[in-house]
Structure 1
């Protein structure tokens, strides 16, 4: 990729993206410029990755061909007001804030501009993100491929219709929190039955990780994979029955639908 990539904001998600891009050698560190008011954060990014840094967002705006707005959603109006008259004519703006529709971003810039709305998730921090990508009509197929390659450098990415972004927020954006709760609960049960805490977390987390990998790599239906573990009158089917007695699947469905609805409310 022969482009300058700019980041406005260098929090956890921004740093995860920078690390993924550099590790994948999509561009050189000197082809990345990071803007942030926090000089300590900038110094850490520069030391760790060798990128260019600045405390002036307009330097990023004037320099970058692709700008990732990796700041909190409430700061978008402030940041965009700063840079909207400074960005290159053919710049691609990448937004990663929940609840920020493409149309709303265009309105803040006050003109038609290339916008790609993306919803990554926190496993980006360990190179295992799931990112949903939605470009507006001004972004070419080649440009979309470039954006996809950025997000695939630290996980997996899929192009989705914008109307599904609220569903994405639930099924991949918020769901890591639910998975962490599941791991914690499994570990608590193991501790209750005598296993040391640290060991319990390792067993529970690896079981979840390995199970997810089986779904992704075998292509088999999760129910089919579940049946593989359930021997007649065995230990696993006993546990499955207990989960069903406590409406396990209904609780999960309800949690994700509540999350989707909240995302819809925030987008209005």
Structure 2
């Protein structure tokens, strides 16, 4: 479904470049998320059998609205949402052991793009939170320097700790084996937070040298801790906007082909 290749720049940052190998399978998962069935999508990713009743017609209509760009000349909000879902799918495949926030169900959500919690093997404690920024863009370096780096600096300083507490608590509420209060205290008191920027790349940055330039300055914005605190992910796709529209149309077809529940 998705192939991962390790990328890094010495002790500055590390992560993966990912390539979609089965667009139809990915489109099916995107359709499930758009329908509000992210739990079912997670089971599919984990190769667990799961049978859901057909969705109501209203859910299908809502999913199609979510998958449709209001303006094909400016599909940025729809494409941003699509990329966040793709990144969520990739995270489930590449970091299956972390607890993850659910995908957003509106375009241009103002909260965190994504959060993940690293947990110990018996799922009783949290070692750190991964704060994710996910950007679908045709100008990746500008997007990183103008939006991602300032956001990471703000989060590192603790300016949004109240939002972080709320989001972490929501994730942990779905997992009864971890004490949410202790986990939040550990994350805030010990500054146990890491970062990950996921971004679409162009020809200029689709190489080892290009990625080093793309994420240049990461260690200046997040100066403390080891390389694990500075995660990076890239996704290269020529004609990005046309490809996003094609993927959305595949997902819409999956939705349209589903039977419906008649109420």
TM-score (normalised: structure 1): 0.26
Structure with a larger share of its residues in helix? 1
Which one has the largest radius of gyration? 1
By relative contact order (CA 8 Å, sep 6+), the higher-ranking structure is 2
Q: Which has the higher strand share?
A: 2
